[in-house]
Structure 1
Amino acid sequence: METLATARRRPHLVLAAAVLALAYSAVTGVTQPQPAAAAAKFAQPISNAVWEAGMTYSIMWTDGTPGSRSLRLMKGQATALQQVARIATVDGASGTYEWTVPADLPTDDTYAIALGTPPDIGYSGQFTITRDGNGAPSPVGERPPAPMPAPVPTRP
């Protein structure tokens, strides 16, 4: 076995070993494992938003992985979401999709939206879809009606 003192006298051998290790990695594809890409983070819908069936809303996210990704409507307990419908296939880096909520979805407050596939998958917060039109509007994306001007006083 070579000692450190012997290795210092032969630096060309240390360099040759490093070059061989690099060549082996390039040929075999054996490298250090890479961390999984970050999952998309949803900006809309936010937790507890209320979306009305039949209306169009913007689904918005950041940090999506480029390429074709599945955008899906999920429902159920946060730890056991089940797919309800495939919304669309989108470019994960696009960051937005205009979606018309199907009019036949039942009212429920455990909906969520998923983008991607494991391990690169992101989920929105859980939100409500209502069919009765009596739900509160989503806090983002809708404008309140303009205030009415105050009446002008008249003099007799």
Structure 2
Amino acid sequence: MKFLTALTAFVAGAATLVSAQDAGIYFTQPILGTVWNAGTSQNITWTPANATSATIDIIELRSGDASNLAFVQNISTTAVDLNSGSFVWTIPATLTTNTAYAIAAKNAAGYSYS
């Protein structure tokens, strides 16, 4: 089941939403055009950028318009070392197909979006 067909269609739109108070990362995967299938494991990757926090505390799946991304589910609620640059996500086999998903990373500094 293809569910992230346009996951990063929000890259341009969501990037404009991220103010100076973001989580201090730039997502490098998924990128525009990435297709991930439910039931598979995928690497979410990022590059640290002026981070003020040592960890990403929560990784979320969000959906909808780039100006108002709605929470879908938590991907991880366990702190991840921000400098590790990646997190392996096993995508639930039951996740609904959608072309408007985005990944959000949150820490004490704020949110960054894919």
TM superposition score normalised by structure 1: 0.52
Counterpart of 2:100 in structure 1 is 110
1:59-70 map, 5 Å: 59-63=44-48, 65-70=53-58
RMSD: 2.1
Query: Following the alignment from structure 1 to structure 2, what is the Cα–Cα distance between the partners of residues 37 and 81?
Result: 15
- Structure 2 residue identity aligned to 1:42: F
Query: Following the alignment from structure 2 to structure 1, what is the Cα–Cα distance between the partners of residues 63 and 94?
Result: 15
Counterpart of 1:45 in structure 2 is 30
1:6-155 map, 5 Å: 36=21, 39-63=24-48, 65-88=53-76, 89=78, 90-117=80-107, 120-124=110-114
Task: Kindly state the Cα deviation for residue 37 of structure 1 after the two structures are TM-superposed.
Answer: 6.4
- 8 Å CA contact retained: 2:62, 2:101: yes
Task: Kindly state the Cα deviation for residue 117 of structure 1 after the two structures are TM-superposed.
Answer: 4.4
The structure in which a higher percent of residues are strand is 2
Aligned residues: 90
Query: Following the alignment from structure 2 to structure 1, what is the Cα–Cα distance between the partners of residues 63 and 22?
Result: 25
CA 1:37 to 1:122, structure 2 compared with 1: closer, same or farther past 3 Å? closer
Q: Percent identity?
A: 39
- 8 Å CA contact retained: 1:69, 1:92: no
Instruction: Tell me which of the two structures has the higher relative contact order, counting C-alpha pairs closer than 8 angstroms and 6 or more residues apart.
Output: 2
Q: Deviations over 1:25-80 (max 9, x none)?
A: xxxxxxxxxx7566310000112311100011100011153135111111111111
- 8 Å CA contact retained: 1:92, 1:116: no
CA 1:123 to 1:36, structure 2 compared with 1: closer, same or farther past 3 Å? closer
User: Higher Cα Rg: structure 1 or 2?
Assistant: 1
Any unmatched runs of 5+ in structure 2?
1-19
Task: Kindly state the Cα deviation for residue 83 of structure 1 after the two structures are TM-superposed.
Answer: 1.1
- Structure 1 residue identity aligned to 2:40: M
- 8 Å CA contact retained: 2:23, 2:106: no
TM superposition score normalised by structure 2: 0.69
Any unmatched runs of 5+ in structure 1?
1-34, 125-156
